[in-house]
Chains A and B, each alone.
Chain A
């Protein structure tokens, strides 16, 4: 079962519990059509939203979680954003692949205040589902190959789980080999 990746938590179809989703996330899930049925949601303690703590508390494997990192690429006055989805056991190569993909001179983690303001999601709950349409979503090949991954839900009080192959098909998603190290 896909949602077994939640460990001890019990998941329900995400669209059955819109109260556990940030607004842009619920909207994006509705637009997924039939695929939305593959996405599960589980309520968690908001204090345990950090991936390492979440995995330890609920018995979910670290390589079954994916972190969503928002990167800001700058060239002169121009700032472009991209989201990277990498397994929690790995880290994104921001200054290499992501910077080149954004065609930026300088790439950095987006300041959390900016990321939160632009995405309409909570700090620590940013997820690849429901990001601004113009942002590329770079998905590491290992995420795309995973049977299931836990990601954020836009709020700290819950998590989503979905098949890696669906993460790789989200709007704007590109599978990138070697994104994570």
Chain B
């Protein structure tokens, strides 16, 4: 299924699959926290983080969907070794988020979600006495 020559594609494929649920988890986590916890640790407000992680989820779902439905100008060239006659099967194309023309938004979303998970989440869980589930 994957030619070793295109290991980068495989890596991006996996990141593309994993990123959407991770972003959804970050959004769900932010949703369940008390609003004053965010201010308490000097982070952006709860609504700001809901907006950021929500937008990240949106792009991570939108880009695969976009790619799946527009195998034309938006289909990434690198994914099939530059062969313009090759069209990847639908599911593969669907997860080629990083290769789509909206990579910038996808990447920004991924970075924001990572910031939430490694920086904001531990701080707000800590300020709530660590008593919060998941």
Contact = CB atoms under 8 A, between A and B. Distances in A.
Interface of A: 67, 69, 72, 90-96, 106-111, 181
Contacts of B126: 106, 108
B39 A109 contact: no
A111 B127 contact: no
Chain B interface main SS type: helix
A108 B39 contact: no
A107 B41 CA distance: 9
Interface of B: 34-42, 123, 126-131
B37 A109 contact: yes
Given A69-B36, A91-B35, A109 B42 contact: no
A147 to B, nearest CB: 24
A38 B131 CA distance: 39
Residue picked from A93, A95, A106, most chain B C-beta under 10 Å: A95
Nearest to B38: A91
Contacts of A109: 34, 36-37, 40, 127-129
A72 B37 CA distance: 13
Contact of B36 (A72, A91, A110): A91
B128 A181 contact: no
Nearest to B131: A111
A2 B83 CA distance: 78
B131 A95 contact: no
